[in-house]
Amino acid sequence: MSPKLFSNLSAVVYYEYGSPDVLQLEEIETPVPADDEILIKIEAASVNSGDWHILRADPFMIRAVSGPLKPKHRILGTDVSGRVEAVGSSVSRFHIGDEVFGDVSRCGFGAFAEYVCVPEKEAIILKPDSLTFEQAAAVPSAVTALQALRNKGHIEPGQNVLINGASGGVGSYAVQLAKSFGAEVTGVCSTGKVDMVSSLGADHIIDYTKEDFSQNGLQYDLIHAANGYHSISQYKGSLKPNGT
């Protein structure tokens, strides 16, 4: 790989915490991959709540990781898809031209740019041909749902599972994953999202504009709270005695 092949690139950068008004489009030097890195030409990147929280340093404890007074990393963005443009000398998993996607949060973020360098062993994998770049860039959000249901919730076939926030980015994945694990799924969403959540496979749907699930007397084996609009005590009241 010769770095002379690449000119400067555009990136969305920020130098202080705040609202989206602190973001600015700038030209920066194109990154050059280290021996164990790949250079990805970014085709798509998704924006999620994590980007919003880091941008604003809200909650305040985010500063312990992202920088106490100002952000350590100038470029936000974690979920990305694109093509491998160059590879380091020790890279063996990927080749120039490979279509890839994944999460770059553990190696300094940087998805809101034209290029990003990522260690070969980070959370980047080959993109299936069946997915567009835009679809692939949205997939990493599913990891949050998978961790909640499988790793923390220990979901089992036949369980009654409630997904609160079933139409959101994480919640919509949670509905599909819970169904794939063999659960009976109830999705909570607004009126305008009922058909969408039903199309994802939810067995039952509660329209929160008409009914509060915490007041209907039904109980569940597992509740996935993709939003935090109920108290812990309200969630506990909707759980079976050994529920999670």
Question: Could you tell me the CATH number of the domain that includes residue 199?
Answer: 3.40.50.720
Domain boundary residue among 115, 139, 163? 139
- Over residues 147-156, the mean pLDDT reads 97
Q: Is 221 within a domain?
A: yes
- Domain check: are 113 and 223 in the same one? no
Residues 99, 18: Cα–Cα separation, whole Å: 34
Residues 207, 224: Cα–Cα separation, whole Å: 16
Specify the amino acid at residue 214.
S
Q: Encode burial over 36-50: b for 16+ CB neighbours within 10 A, e otherwise.
A: bbbbbebbbbbbbeb
- Domain check: are 112 and 7 in the same one? yes
Residue 210 has pLDDT above 60, yes or no: yes
pLDDT of residue 229: 79
Residue 49 has pLDDT above 90, yes or no: no
Can you give the pTM of this predicted structure?
0.83
Q: How many domains does the chain have?
A: 2
Beta bridge partners of 125: 101
pLDDT of residue 152: 96
**Cβ–Cβ < 8 Å for 232, 238:** no
**Helix %, strand %, coil % of the chain (to 5):** 30, 25, 45
pLDDT of residue 239: 97
- Domain check: are 127 and 201 in the same one? no
Q: Is 243 within a domain?
A: no
What CATH number is associated with residue 84? 3.90.180.10
Residue 1 has pLDDT above 60, yes or no: no
- Domain check: are 163 and 200 in the same one? yes
- Domain check: are 39 and 113 in the same one? yes
